Structure formats: C-alpha cells, structure tokens
Structure 1
Amino acid sequence: MTNIQIRTYRDEDGDIVRELFTLGMSEHVPSFFMHILKQPPTQMLLMCVFCSLMASSKSFLLPVLAVTLLLAGARQLVVHMFNSYIETSLKKDLNNIGDVYLKEKDSCFWVAEIDGRVVGTVACLPAETSPGCLELKRMSVRRSYRGMGIAKDLCRTVADFTRDRGYPAVVLYTSVVQTDAQKLYEHMGYEKIREFVIPELVAKIVNVTLLEYKLDLQRDGRKN
C-alpha cells in the first residue's frame, strides 16, 4: 500500500507546487476548447462563414481554410485565457504561499508527498463570498499519481482543518469542464449549490461557467 503523507507546505516546495498547478491547469485546455465548439454561437458562426464563402467563392477550399483558421484562432484564445489565469494565480498567491496561507490560523496550504516527492497540493482560507466558511483552493494531483486516493486525503485534510476551527462548511469553485473534479467533490459529500458565468466579456462570449460546491460539516458530509 502506498504511503501518502499530507504535510504543511514548506518554502522549498515552492517550485514543484507552481509546476503542479501550471500543469494541472494546462490539462484543461483541450476539454475547454471542445466546450467552446459545442456552444450554439460558435457553431452558428462557423456555419455562416462556411456557407457565405462557399456561396461567394464557388470554391470548397476557401471556406474550409477559413473555418480551419477560425478554429486555430479559437484554440489560441483558450490557451491565452488559461495562461492569463495561471499568471494571475501565481502573482496573487502561489508566488507567496507563506504570507497568504500560513500566517493566519484559519488558512493553510498542504502538500501530498510519496517517497519524498510532492505529488499533490491543496489549500484553504476564509471564503470571500461565503462569510463563516472556509474555501478549498489549489487542489492539484500529478497525473501519474491519480487514482491512488490522494485527492480524497487532501479533501479530508481541509474538512478536518475547517471543523477543528469551528467553521460549519467548506465551499469551492470549479469549472464546468472539470468533470473528474466534480465527481470527486460529490463523492466526498459536497453539494452543487449554483452555476454562474464569469462576468468578463470574453468569458460571457465563450460561456465560461463555474460551479460552486458546499460541504456542510454540521451534517458530517464526509465520505470514505
């Protein structure tokens, strides 16, 4: 049986933590690109471009090329969005984990370690939009170590920390394309309480939908 150790973050973990976060976020580019392609406005735009060029040019090659270029542009937009989010997250807290998460009693940052190698992360701090709750953040597990119960252990660590400090619930946010994460949280007792589109213009255009989950500790929502 694999020995998984969950411990508090140390300064020497910084580079590997940032690497795990960056790799984990980048994994979602393909699924989010497919999410955009499934949106009716996207399909309508591609169809209109194809049909109008087909009718005006009497050529099949030109509309195919135009649609291909639009798809390539859309994928680059998704890559740009994720890179911008990664950069913002690094500046906001992941470049300064000690100050953001470890100086207050109601916040913390943990890493999961196997054979001396950091393979997962999670954090929590008081939720900005849900007073009286802690928010689970920065959950990430290296791809080659998934399916070993690491994410469940990290979720339990946050729940225990939250309960020990007298908070009634944990909240978290994930995106609509992160289906594996949604299954994990629901298995651990979290309930989806709302869906909403990020208010930024580009996010509205491509329908960037976030899901808010809540774990009610007063009902002992933990699951093994």
Structure 2
Amino acid sequence: MAELQIRRYKDDDKEDVKEIFMLGMSEHVPSSCMYVLKQPPTQMLLACVFCALLASSKSILLPVLAVTLLLAAGRQLIIYMFSRYIQVCLQKDLDYIQETYVDAVNSCFWVAEYQGRVVGTVACLPAEQNKVCLELKRMSVMRSYRGRGIAKALCRTVADFAQQRGIPAVILYTSVVQTDAHKLYENVGYKKVREFVAPEFMAKITNFTLFEYRLDLQQPGN
C-alpha cells in the first residue's frame, strides 16, 4: 500500500497519538454499557428496584422512571471509568512517549501515516509479568481508516521488531468488549492464553473480563 507508511514516533506526533488513543477508548463506552446490562447482577438489581417500587407505589410510572435513572447513572459511571483510565494512561506513558518507549531498551513506538496523516499507533515494551517477552500496547487505528490493513501492518511491525531481537513471544491484553480486536489478533496469529476479571471493584461486580493473547515467534535459524 503505497499511501501507507509505518514509521517511528517523533515528538511532533504526540497530540495526534493522544487524540487517536482517546477516540479509540471512547468508542468502547456503548459496548461496555451493553455488556454490563446483560450481566445477571445488573438485571437482578433493575428487576428488584422495579418490582419493589411497583408494589409500594401501585403505579407503573415511578418504577419506570427509577429504572431509567439507574440506567443513566450506570452509563455515566462507565463514562467516568473510561475517562479515568484515559487519564491514567496519559500520565503513565502517553505524556512521556520518548522516555517510556523510544529511549528505553527493547521498546519502541510507531505511528501509521496514511496519505501523510497519522491515523494509527502501536507500541511495545518488555512485559511486566514476563521480561523475556514483549508486550504490544497502544494499538489503535482511526475508525474512518479501518479495513485497509493498517492494524495488521502495525501488528507485523511489532512482531518483526521482537523477532529481530531474538525475543520469543509478544503478548497483549484486551477486554471482552473489544470484539473487533479479538478477530484482528487471531487473524495475525495470536492465541488467547488466559481470561481473568479486571481487578477494579466495579469490574469484579460486573464480571468485566480481560483476555491475554500471545504470539510465539519463529527465531532465525530454527
């Protein structure tokens, strides 16, 4: 694809990178709301509130209003959680990309330029739980540029980077609601190796699950 260029991050890319990340994360709010709504504890809470108010008020209006307010409050809570996560990520590494990824050993950050515009990002660094592996992070492609092979090219860039350094595998973490990401990673060779509930209190209540994927790499000469 002549119009696509995968290149290393430059300081001038910072604002584009942060915008792509924030927009990508915000896209998961609706699917997260639906996921939480489908969980038995959520449905039980809504049903109990509805039935209790219906029995006590003898009116359909009050329980309907109460359930509507609970749904609205739940959506706002999910929006807040995503906003908080975005802020944590900015403070942890996206405000310090050069120091975190570019200057560090066995780490890197790339952007995808399509027709001269930064439209995607990906990064890697040594995995916290297994230092001999790399962890793929900050994968995101702008919605209007998906379906052009950009995400696959970014995944291959990380795999090539790891393979050139003799690193045996790349791992990544994604959530249960990121179904398009699951398909992408599986299509480029990643295998799901673990499922676990996110450690946050609200995640435990709603059974918000994270997936760990792993890509084992063929080493030169093998």
- Same fold? TM cut 0.5: yes
Structure-1 residue corresponding to 2:10: 10
Distance 2:184 2:127 in 1: 21
**Quick one: which amino acid aligns to residue 21 of structure 1?**
F
How much is the aligned-residue C-alpha RMSD, in angstroms?
1.2
Distance 1:2 1:142 in 2: 19
Structure-2 residue corresponding to 1:21: 21
Q: Deviations over 1:42-66 (max 9, x none)?
A: 0000000001110110000000000
Q: Structure 1 residues 73, 219: CA separation in 2 closer, same or farther (over 3 Å shift)?
A: farther
Within the alignment, does 1:157 sit opposite 2:173 as a pair? no
**Quick one: which amino acid aligns to residue 81 of structure 2?**
M
**Quick one: which amino acid aligns to residue 18 of structure 1?**
K
Alignment of 1:71-86 (within 5 A): 71-86=71-86
Q: Deviations over 1:194-223 (max 9, x none)?
A: 000112212211222100000010389xxx
Alignment of 1:177-216 (within 5 A): 177-216=177-216
Distance 1:153 1:101 in 2: 19
Q: Deviations over 1:7-46 (max 9, x none)?
A: 0000000001000000000000000000000000000000
Query: Identity of counterpart residues, as a percentage?
Result: 69
Distance 2:199 2:3 in 1: 43
Structure-2 residue corresponding to 1:56: 56
Give the conservation status (yes or no) of the 8 Å contact 2:135–2:170. Answer: yes
Distance 1:53 1:2 in 2: 63
Structure-1 residue corresponding to 2:111: 111
Q: Deviations over 1:73-92 (max 9, x none)?
A: 10001001100000000000
Q: Deviations over 1:163-195 (max 9, x none)?
A: 001100000000000000000000000000000
Distance 1:114 1:12 in 2: 16
Within the alignment, does 1:89 sit opposite 2:97 as a pair? no
Distance 2:171 2:3 in 1: 28
Distance 1:105 1:207 in 2: 36
TM-score by length of structure 1 reads 0.96
Residues 174-183 or 101-110, more deviating = 101-110
Number of aligned residue pairs: give it: 220
**Quick one: which amino acid aligns to residue 37 of structure 2?**
L
Offset at residue 158 of structure 1 (A): 0.1
Give the conservation status (yes or no) of the 8 Å contact 2:166–2:219. Answer: no
* DSSP 3-state at the match of 2:185: helix
Structure-1 residue corresponding to 2:101: 101
